[in-house]
Amino acid sequence: MINHTQINNQQFAAYIDGQWHKAKHTITSLNPADLTDIVGVFGEADKGLVSDAAAAARRAFRTWARTPAPVRAGIVQNFGRLVENNKEALARVVTREIGKPLKEALGSVQEVIDTVNFFVSEGRRLYGQTIPSEMPNKELFTYRRPIGVFGCITACNFPVAVPAWYFIPALVAGNTCVWKPSEDALLTSYWFTELWARAGLPHGVFNTVLGSGPGTGAAFVELIEEGAFDKIGFTGSTAIGRKIGEVCGRALQTPCLELGGKNPMVVCPDADLELAVDGALFSGFGTAGQRCTSLGNLIIHSQIHDAFVEKLVNKAKNMRIGDPFNSDVTYGPLISQRFLHNHLEHLSTLIESKHELPLGKGGHIGHGAEWPHFSGNAKNGVYARPNIVLNVSMADRIYSTETFGPLFNVLKYHEFDEAMAMANNHGYGLSSAIYTNDPRTVYQFKTEITAGMSSINNTTTGAEAHLPFGGNGKSGNGGRQSGIWVLDQFTKWHAINWDLSGKLQLAQMDTHYVEPDLNFKIQS
């Protein structure tokens, strides 16, 4: 069972070829609800350790790729059983380390279990095809083949669910892996790695390198250009995603990029307003607004704008913020001090004089800002008050800037075409939502929206293990995670042309097509 005291202050920096390695330079993981609580001290992997991890994965690839897919899936199933057996303990580590409310953390761990349950059967369904040939005594086949060494960098807001989306299908498909998790979720990442090790993966198949983005992450990117990886996955900011995409392009690779969002929610005059208010509040403030699918722009019809905003603000004022282990909180602290710093900077640089803040001003609770329903450690915690910004237009910087915190905008529209422009023109294309009971409006929305995902009468957030997840534009390069579609990220098609005729047959040249009688005419 998971017990964090076993590894505290061990300075583990990398899990390579079945062993943990230490490093001289360290990173300390702090509890954002109480920065005096040291969650763990870990080492920072340098380029040498990252290179060693990639080399171990390369050595293990040949044997792992030849392991029958159902056997590979059986080991993944073992991992799922271990996660399920440790569900609450792992969720409590997530809550303590990144401040995600325990209910949400339990949901994140359940997402891992769901993903395992879906992909275990894909080990028996990595189907190819048998294709008829235009030649006699000839057979054509296609096979899915693993790509090779998969290198992956993930973010901190979903430190177990998102890695599971990547690694479960990657391993079932026969790839070996090197993982660089976020420096804000080091203890969580340690346990995630240990669960894979205890599941029975052969040494070298799954490797982990811990460290910061500027340190370990930069070394990771350097090694892409040096040919250490055959496939890259990245979840994080659009700015870093662009850099990784450039490097992969030079290496003639197509990365799987899951980036930021400025996710719109349109509320129509015929919507269930109470339902839409609840959806907007969770979309905007779930995980303290630190989801790539969090609400960015709430787009409300002018007929209901004032009444809806009044309901929204009144309900928001009753939200409880504080200790993430309390069952009644809407959200806990921000993930770390750097996320608070970025949030405060957005408040100071993006809010204009014309904007209204109906929930009040200020950002850091207990440090110049207050919240009436607060139950956390204001002195030592990284807590931010919620913000709703009114009077926003498409010309404002805040309209098209991902803020990644407890903040969203409100825009007013008159005609539906105007609402669609507001929903699309920021350039992101991850998630979206609409509240309406008119099927024709739903049809127009789902036809014209540029986002990769849309919800009807539901939140902008939330994903299921068997539905594709991913975005377009500034939100990604079209790759998808989850569901059967993700297999296209982790396999390459292999075409087989098997001639049994015993003679040379040339396609298109020796094909005996039958010609029609083109002189035939119908007599009318």
CB distance 31 to 136 below 8 Å: no
Cα–Cα separations (whole angstroms), residue 399 to 189, 195, 396: 34, 42, 5
DSSP 3-state percent helix, strand, coil across the chain (nearest 5): 40, 20, 40
- Calpha distance 218→138 (Å, rounded): 50
Strand partners, 179: 152, 208
In a 3-state reduction of DSSP, which class is residue 411? strand
- Calpha distance 1→24 (Å, rounded): 29
Active site residue ranges: 258, 292
- Calpha distance 201→54 (Å, rounded): 16
343: Cα separation from own chain's centroid: 20
Residue type, 349: T
Total H helices, total E strands in the chain: 15, 20
- Calpha distance 53→179 (Å, rounded): 9
- Calpha distance 24→52 (Å, rounded): 17
Structure tokens at 34: 């109480």
CB distance 420 to 241 below 8 Å: no
Residue type, 393: S
Cα–Cα separations (whole angstroms), residue 366 to 230, 328, 397: 48, 20, 28
Cα–Cα separations (whole angstroms), residue 329 to 285, 332, 346, 381, 404: 11, 7, 24, 15, 19
CB distance 29 to 181 below 8 Å: no
Environment class of residue 62 by beta-carbon count within 10 Å: exposed (0-12), middle (13-18) or buried (19+)? Answer: exposed
Contacts of 259 (CB under 8 A, 6+ apart): 234, 235, 236, 237, 238, 241, 292, 430, 471, 474, 475, 476
